[in-house]
Structure 1
């Protein structure tokens, strides 16, 4: 079974306090679901039409595990704290 990667890019952060509150709950919720945060922060460099946006890369054992983490009650509780505080894009990509 291929690993999966959850890639989150933040288009904007309107409320840093909401992001901080979200982060306190989301990290443990993701870890409890088997996720491993591999990278997070502003890109060191971008090419082509890349944007200097906060990016988070999380590894899971499978696409199903990544989706289950996102849909878990613990992560959904964290997500409620972020509501309206940031605009972002989350993609789950299967590894090769």
Structure 2
């Protein structure tokens, strides 16, 4: 079964400390949904049209689990805490089986 991944790119973060409330709720919600944080705010080398913004990568055992975790009540509460000064490009993708 192909794994599922959350890929988040943050083109604009007005104040990184504003992410604290979201992170405090999102971390446990992701873990409860079976997600494993693979990368968060690490170094980025961009090529071609790439831009070196913060990238967060989370792995799930399946695409369906990744979607379910996003739709969970716990993660939806975390999304409410995501500040207005944060711009985020979020995707759920299916890995190669």
TM-score, normalised to structure 1's length?
0.91
In structure 1, the partner of 2:37 is 37
Gaps of 5+ in 2: none
Equivalent-residue separation in structure 1 for 2:69 and 2:79 (angstroms): 12
Moved over 3 A (4+): none
Equivalent-residue separation in structure 1 for 2:63 and 2:44 (angstroms): 27
Displacement after TM superposition at 1:42 (Å): 4.4
Equivalent-residue separation in structure 1 for 2:75 and 2:55 (angstroms): 18
Equivalent-residue separation in structure 2 for 1:69 and 1:83 (angstroms): 20
Q: SS of the counterpart of 1:46?
A: coil
**CA contact 2:10–2:54 (8 Å) conserved in 1:** yes
**CA contact 2:6–2:92 (8 Å) conserved in 1:** yes
Equivalent-residue separation in structure 2 for 1:40 and 1:32 (angstroms): 18
Equivalent-residue separation in structure 1 for 2:74 and 2:19 (angstroms): 16
Gaps of 5+ in 1: none
Mapping for residues 9-24 of structure 1, pairs under 5 Å: 9-24=9-24
Equivalent-residue separation in structure 1 for 2:95 and 2:31 (angstroms): 19
TM-score, normalised to structure 2's length?
0.90
Equivalent-residue separation in structure 2 for 1:83 and 1:67 (angstroms): 22
Tell me how large the CA RMSD over aligned residues is.
1.3
Displacement after TM superposition at 1:91 (Å): 1.1
